Amino acid sequence: MKFLLSNIMISEMRLNKLPNDLYSERIGALTFYTERNNVLVSNNALSGYTDGYLRDYDNAENSVSSHTLSGLKKILNQWPLSKIVSGSFSSVIIDKVAESIILTTDHIGLYPIYYFKNKDGFYISNSIIFIGLLTKSINDEIGILQRTIGEGFSNIGSRSIIKNCKRLLPGEFLKFNFNGELLEKKYDNSLFQEISSSRMDHNLVQKYWEDFQIEMEFCLKGSDEVKIALSGGIDSRVVLGAIPEDKKISCLTFGESDNYETKVARRLAKLKKADFHSFFQPEVYFPTKTQLKDYTFKTEAVQICSWLEILENQDEQFDTPLLLGELCEGLPARNIKKYNSREFRQSNFVKHYILNTDYKFEKATPEKVGEWKNKIIKRTLIFYIDQRKSKTGIKISKELIDPEILENLNEIFDRITAHNLPYIELYDELFSWYTYTRMRLSKQVLLANSKFKAYSPAMSLRILRNTSNIHPNLRLNYRFAKQLFRYDKTLKKLNSVPTSQAPLIPQSFPDFIKFPVWGLRSKIDSYLIKKSVKNGGENTSYRLFKSVDWAAPYQLPDLEEKLEAYFRNKEIGDEYLAHVKKMALDRRDNKQWPFANIDIMNTASLNMELAIINGNEKLR
């Protein structure tokens, strides 16, 4: 749900740019605007709004608003928060006594908060579109380049697509006065601060699971019913296993009912005695322009359109939690790049998967950290070569772009180095959390927020801190996860079901059985893909087991019509939009392999955001 806080009264003319009337509430010299009434939690000293969830373990009440208010009071008194407060959240707090505004977000910052100041006033919102529409803002061309051709199609650091409009950094706490002047800045650097030994301590497994179950109880305060986005992967199994038995559970997934992944998810739901629903609507992989505009305005997160198969078949249930798995993939340490490439796993299969040999980690010295930074800088700047930039129509020289990109990278570098990580391999992991997870994977949560209260308990302060403190030698190759699934009886049952990676083989089987099955399935899929492309996609399967058919949406008869509608307002540049349309049609005609259309829908959604902000796409 969108909000905007400002120290000026927004004129009716500007508010009429929005599709719906907003509720407003005066708090001293400030005005809080929102799409739904009575969303602020308040007492005599403060008023506040939270995206996500915030829970106080010292609070015995069942009321969500009571927990939120209690958590906000503790934020005012202490940052970083103590271990008795948890949640996955971004919050804005109006301190009525000190006449100050506090903005804060959790370790990763999945839920955005933007702040912007111009000659007219000071604005805070969880929506870049709100700020763009209701202020005399100017497009940030470098921010647009980052979203168009940059790595992961994502802004870096605090940058946004509006000039001088910043997004809160991970773990950031900012305090402003009512005029928008910055009074205080501090950070939560509590990840990776109590790393365990590299040897498996079974008490560590017990403590992790007990904490996860408690977190789930607090997350679901006030809710008798819970929904879970169930993919069948390990992270969603952990969430499913931790849901208290007294909750009514509905498991939701996308894809045809006879897809292999759907069958896996259905088996898991049955073991938990939960309702199960799968949704198949391939036309939404390329939604209509109206759908694109609606979801873009509501969420600013249209990219992974498979989620729309679920959301288009759900009524708005704003007070019902929808749980997601752990977006960081921290429990299996999948973002430690050195040890997660296919080549490394294949060449070291016997060493690490059969003999269970320890992984070696390199001490993080200033020299090694400098080398790591230079590698990231070089990898990032390569995206902004003139050949790629020229297609966007943005005429900024590389000599001007590179220092701006470097400034944004340094914001992330500073956040990472403040943790004093012991191993250089962990720098890649935290960088991925602060970029890929925060900016791209978070869109799953934000998109789901259009219909539900979307939460990821594994991303909470308490649980992500616990995950980061498990030694990476224990997390890699699902070593810790395997112990976890052996420890709890509910997880043991869920572990009897195969994953889609190694089909037909129970997940509880040893690696020397699962790994060859995964490799064989992968090679067969690769062969079938090549055969399908060679035959023009006609009457051929491109997967050994029936799966999500990423090729099918490109064959829909109205594809060209939809692409023309997406890009009728040319906000990015004719040449780039023509390139994106050609890419889609080449995939339709089997000139390119048609995998997920994330790159295409990213451009369509960004183009729509800009069209709305610039007044070229009307909302009423």
Could you tell me the two tokens for 239? 């969430």
- The confidence score (pLDDT) of residue 311 equals 97
Would you kindly state where each structural domain of the chain is located, as residue ranges? 3-187, 202-334+442-496, 337-438, 545-613
Question: Rounded to whole angstroms, how far apart are CA atoms 146 and 384?
Answer: 9
- The confidence score (pLDDT) of residue 512 equals 77
Question: Rounded to whole angstroms, how far apart are CA atoms 505 and 620?
Answer: 53
Q: Give residue 391's identity as a one-letter amino acid code.
A: K
Count helices and strands (H / E) in the chain.
Answer: 23, 17
Low-confidence ranges of the chain (pLDDT < 70): 536-540
Q: Give residue 288's identity as a one-letter amino acid code.
A: T
Specify the DSSP class assigned to residue 483. H
Q: Can you give the three-state secondary structure of 333-371, one letter per residue? A: CCCCHHHCCHHHHHHCHHHHHHCCCCCCCCECCHHHHHH
- The confidence score (pLDDT) of residue 539 equals 56
Question: Rounded to whole angstroms, how far apart are CA atoms 397 and 609?
Answer: 25
The hierarchical CATH code for the domain 3-187 is 3.60.20.10
Residue 191 backbone zone (phi > 0: left; psi -120 to 50: alpha; other: beta): beta
Question: Rounded to whole angstroms, how far apart are CA atoms 4 and 112?
Answer: 13
- The confidence score (pLDDT) of residue 537 equals 62
- Roughly how many angstroms between the first and final C-alpha of the chain, as a whole number? 18
- The confidence score (pLDDT) of residue 515 equals 75
Question: Rounded to whole angstroms, how far apart are CA atoms 14 and 471?
Answer: 53
The answer to whether 440 and 327 have CB atoms below 8 angstroms apart is no
Q: Beta strand pairing status for 321-323 and 453-455?
A: parallel
Specify the DSSP class assigned to residue 162. B
* Coil/strand/helix, residue 576: helix
- pTM over 0.85? The answer is yes
Specify the DSSP class assigned to residue 352. I
Q: Give residue 382's identity as a one-letter amino acid code.
A: I
The answer to whether 503 and 260 have CB atoms below 8 angstroms apart is yes
To the nearest whole number, what is the mean pLDDT of the chain?
Answer: 94
Topology annotation, domain 202-334+442-496 = Rossmann fold (3.40.50)
- What is the arrangement of strands in the sheet containing 3-6, beginning at the earlier edge strand? 23-27, 30-34, 3-6, 122-125, 114-117, 166-167
Residues 245-279 pLDDT 10s: 999 999 999 999 999 999 999 999 999 999 999 99
